Amino acid sequence: DAKTTQPNSMESNEEEPVHLPCNHSTISGTDYIHWYRQLPSQGPEYVIHGLTSNVNNRMASLAIAEDRKSSTLILHRATLRDAAVYYCILYSYSGAGSYQLTFGKGTKLSVIP
């Protein structure tokens, strides 16, 4: 299985940008990079995904390195509601007719008022 490495925890001040890094040095050419977050006592929530190019949506931006061995999730202005565990995931084709979404350890983001 492809693996990801993230910092265990990060802190940010409210209304400042946050850059959450992820290393995935064993990524294969067909792996998609997905980010999810999980608030306390809730199921994970999709944030953003990409394959090779940088991506933007209403929640965040995803910057993907040219060699695809690392990526960074960017929250442009952190709010208290962004405090969560953020998971960087390689969405891999299982070879059995489906894709496999395997979670790593994630980064716990704390937002300071």
Partner 1 sequence: DTEVTQTPKHLVMGMTNKKSLKCEQHMGHRAMYWYKQKAKKPPELMFVYSYEKLSINESVPSRFSPECPNSSLLNLHLHALQPEDSALYLCASSQEVSGPTEAFFGQGTRLTVV
Strands (E), 3-83: 9-13, 18-23, 32-38, 45-50, 55-56, 61-64, 70-75
For residue 67, how many other CB atoms are within 10 A of its CB? 8
**Interacting residue with partner 1 among 24, 34, 50, 60 (CB under 8 A):** 34
Per CB under 8 A, the segment of 12-20, 21-29, 69-77, 104-112 that binds partner 1 is 104-112
96 near partner 1, judged by CB under 8 A? yes
The stretches of 4-113 forming alpha helices (DSSP H) are none
Query: Which CB, 70 or 107, lies closer to partner 1?
Result: 107
Q: How far is the CB of 15 from partner 1 (least distance, A)?
A: 27
Answer whether 8's CB lies under 8 Å from 105's CB: yes
- Contact footprint for partner 1 (CB under 8 A): 32, 34, 36, 42-46, 49, 85, 87, 91, 94, 96-106
